[in-house]
């Protein structure tokens, strides 16, 4: 009961933080604020500050929908069959909402106080690293994790792929976070894309090779 109360309190705080912050600074915002940023993290589109309110509401709506989807997997995923650790799923859902809340706060701040954009890469890298830390504890399902035909077909393949994938995502996320402090946003946009490609393809290739080796061992 205490955990449920604490979880709901944290969720409400994460969802409310951007709206509270926006309400605090709304009167000092200029009538035209930055609404979109280019690869160099410099504003390339401005609009009325009322549009910023709509953007924030949409982002928090997406965050809440993501949380509800992740935490209700056992009810809609036929493969899950109550095998999932609900505690891990709850933490993952709160982590996603928390990082979306931080990014939304950053968007509000950047709309009237232009920044270099480095902090955004640090936050995204940290998110990848945290998700990687959860990977090893996620059991087979159709919605969360490295969902490939070979991982979904074989529980051992799923487990080993996520063990490797978790390490790759933690290392990749930390690299993005550290390099975000050191490099310009223009370079970081390209480097982050390259690291994400590696983070996606290394576990996928490993999973396929594991599948092929398993087939050979059965012959």
Same domain, residue pair 65 and 134: no
pLDDT digits (tens, 9 = 90+) for 120-171: 888 899 999 999 998 888 888 777 788 888 888 888 999 999 999 999 999 9
51: Cβ contacts below 8 Å, ≥ 6 apart? 35
At 201, list the tokens. Answer: 């393809």
Per-residue model confidence as pLDDT tens digits over 71-125: 777 676 665 554 556 677 788 888 889 999 998 898 888 877 766 677 888 889 9
Residues 106, 4 within the same domain: yes
Alpha carbons 185 and 187: distance in angstroms, whole number: 5
Q: How far apart are CA 192 and CA 198, in angstroms?
A: 10
Same domain for 62 and 22: yes
Number of domains in the chain: 2
Q: Which domain does 46 fall in, by range?
A: 1-115
Distant-in-sequence, close-in-space partners of 7: CB < 8 Å, separation ≥ 6: 90, 94
Q: Do 75 and 149 belong to one domain?
A: no
Same domain, 108 and 122: no
Kindly state whether residues 107 and 122 are assigned to the same domain. Answer: no
Q: Rounded CA gap, 3 and 19, in Å? A: 25
pTM higher than 0.85, yes or no?
Answer: no
Q: Tell me: do 109 and 56 sit in the same domain.
A: yes
Q: Are residues 62 and 125 in the same domain?
A: no
């Amino acid at each position: 009961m205490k955990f449920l109360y604490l979880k709901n309190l944290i969720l409400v705080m994460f969802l409310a933080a951007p709206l509270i912050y926006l309400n605090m600074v709304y009167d000092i915002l200029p009538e035209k604020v930055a609404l979109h940023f280019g690869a160099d993290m410099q504003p390339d589109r401005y609009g009325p500050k009322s549009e910023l309110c709509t953007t924030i509401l949409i982002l928090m709506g997406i965050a809440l929908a993501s949380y509800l989807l992740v935490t209700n997997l056992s009810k809609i995923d036929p493969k899950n069959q109550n095998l999932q650790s609900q505690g891990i799923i709850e933490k993952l859902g709160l982590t996603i909402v928390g990082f979306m809340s931080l990014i939304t706060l950053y968007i509000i701040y950047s709309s009237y106080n232009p920044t270099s954009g480095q902090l955004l890469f640090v936050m995204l890298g940290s998110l990848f690293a945290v998700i990687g830390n959860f990977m090893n504890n996620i059991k087979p399902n159709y919605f969360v994790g490295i969902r490939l035909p070979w991982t979904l077909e074989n529980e051992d393949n799923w487990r080993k792929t996520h063990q490797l994938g978790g390490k790759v995502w933690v290392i990749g996320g930390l690299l993005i976070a550290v390099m975000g402090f050191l490099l310009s946003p223009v370079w970081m946009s390209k480097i982050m894309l390259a690291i994400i490609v590696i983070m996606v393809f290394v576990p996928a290739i490993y999973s396929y090779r594991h599948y092929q080796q398993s087939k050979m061992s059965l012959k």
